[in-house]
Amino acid sequence: MEPIAPMTPDSIARAAALLRSGELVAFPTETVYGLGADATNDTAVARIFDAKNRPSFNPLIAHVADTDEAATYAVFTPLAERMAARFWPGPLTLVLSRRPDCGLSRLTSAGLDTVAMRVPAHAGARELLRIAGIPVAAPSANRSGLLSPTTAKHVAEQLGDRVAMILDDGPCAVGLESTVLDLSGRTPAILRQGGLAQEEIENALGEPVLVAGADDTTPKSPGMLTRHYAPTRPLRMNASAADPGEALLGFGSVADTTMNLSPAGDLVEAAANLFACLHALDTPEYSGIAVSPIPETGLGRAINDRLRRAAESTEQL
Ligand code: AMP
Ligand code: MG
């Protein structure tokens, strides 16, 4: 079946309903076409990673219809308010502190206590977000490692069999990803260059802005500024059972688990539960977290990637 639908009030309403029911919908924005899912739904967000075949869980951008809606999920400092007033809607993503219990899936922000938010300028995209009434997590709608799509046809070629619908509104006006500006720390920093020029941001800030990777005092690649979430307690992979004091995070039909990522052995379900389970088990009640073996296939690769980083970051403790 051809999933491409011209963007009309009718197709937007259908797409909004699909998003609300946890389906994947590709939609145009002014930057590139996005692969959208309900950012509050763990399973829907896990499907994004599965469809893109992403080998790791990087945090996603949550798209919303306006700044008021963004403020229900993220903390707006006066500076963040100023930048949003100046550049939203538009190709600027703001990384802000995540409101505790804001309802966003932990997978959307890859377990971090910050969240990336954007109000796109594309009229159809905003209408979709307004009617859906939910934040929509949307990375570029391409397979991992391939080019970002700027037409619906690009999306159909790469993900046509993985999405419920592709809204088509012609080529993207900007054609570059959004600029990512981190306002969650002490100093604003550009984490990724994109559709909004650095000069425009500096004009608004009234001073030069730090660019990740631009000099020796900052991390080499934008990804490195994205501190990866890891539990504070030691984590042990490929465990057959818990040692005394440890919690056992199971997968599949494993006995005596403290929690189970997916009793049925479903990797999409396991990905959906991963960060919530790690947070829940990272308490003084346990000396560490032992995790059952996860198969190195499909989303299992991304799960193991994250567990490996967590195991390494706690090895020295
Ligand atoms: P994409 O999903 O391909 O549009 O990429 C999203 C970009 O935003 C990536 O460069 C992420 O590293 C960055 N990003 C998203 N959320 C965060 C966050 N909480 N902290 C830092 N960077 C983020
Ligand atoms: Mg991308």
Task: Sketch the domain layout of the chain as residue ranges.
Answer: 4-211, 235-315
Q: What is the distance between the alpha carbons of residues 194 and 62, in angstroms, rounded to a whole number?
A: 17
pLDDT of residue 2: 63
Distance, in Å, from the CA atom of 75 to the CA atom of 96, rounded to the nearest integer, reads 6
Average pLDDT for 255-273:
96
Range in 15-19, 88-92, 230-234, 311-315 with the lowest mean pLDDT:
311-315
Any atom of ligand 1 within 6 Å of the Cβ of 58: yes
- Tell whether ligand 1 has an atom less than 6 A from the beta carbon of residue 36: no
Question: pLDDT tens for residues 66-93?
Answer: 999 999 999 999 999 999 999 999 999 9
- What pLDDT sits at residue 314? 63
Ligand 1 lined by 138 (C-beta under 6 Å)? no
Tokens at 120, concatenated: 């796109």
Beta pairing partners, 72? none
Please tell me the pTM assigned to this model: 0.90
Q: In this predicted structure, what is the pLDDT of residue 229?
A: 80
Query: What pLDDT was estimated at residue 225?
Result: 43
Distance CA 223, CA 102 (A): 25
- Is it the case that residue 217 has pLDDT exceeding 90? no
Sheet hosting strand 235-236, strand order edge to edge:
235-236, 288-291, 246-250, 259-260
* CB distance 191 to ligand 1 below 6 Å: yes
Pocket probe for ligand 1: among 60, 183, 196, the residue whose CB has the most ligand atoms within 8 Å is: 60
* Residue 145 neighbours by CB under 8 Å, 6+ apart: none
Q: What is the CATH number that goes with domain 4-211?
A: 3.90.870.10
The residue ranking higher by pLDDT, 167 or 276, is 167
Q: How sure is the predictor about 230, in pLDDT bands with cuts at 50, 70 and 90?
A: confident
Mean pLDDT of 213-242: 70
| Ligand 1 atom nearest residue 115's Cα | 19
Count of beta carbons in the 10 Å neighbourhood of residue 245:
10
Q: Please say if the pLDDT value at position 222 is more than 90.
A: no
pLDDT at 42 over 60: yes
> Which string of b and e fits 179-203 if b means at least 16 CB within 10 Å?
bbbbbbeeebbbbbbbbbebeebee
Residues in contact with 118: Cβ distance below 8 Å, sequence separation at least 6, in sequence order: 61, 62, 63, 64, 88, 92, 93, 94, 178
pLDDT of residue 228: 73
The alpha carbon dihedral of 205, 92, 66, 123 has a sign of positive
Check if the beta carbon of residue 272 is closer than 8 Å to that of residue 46.
yes
User: Which DSSP state fits 112?
Assistant: -
The alpha carbon of 174 and the centre of ligand 2 are apart by a number of angstroms equal to 15
Residue with tokens 């800030």: 205
> Looking at residues 37-61, what average pLDDT do you find?
96
What is the CA(210)–ligand 1 centre distance, in A? 17
Measured CA to CA in angstroms, residue 15 lies from 11, 21, 150 at distances of: 6, 10, 19
pLDDT band at 202, cuts 50/70/90?
very high
Which amino acid is located at 34 in the chain? G
Distance of CA 203 to the CA centre of its chain: 29
Q: How are the residues of the chain apportioned to helix, strand and coil, as percentages rounded to the nearest 5? A: 30, 20, 50
Q: Which of 33, 48, 61, 105 to mutate to test the pocket of ligand 1 (most atoms within 8 A of CB)?
A: 61
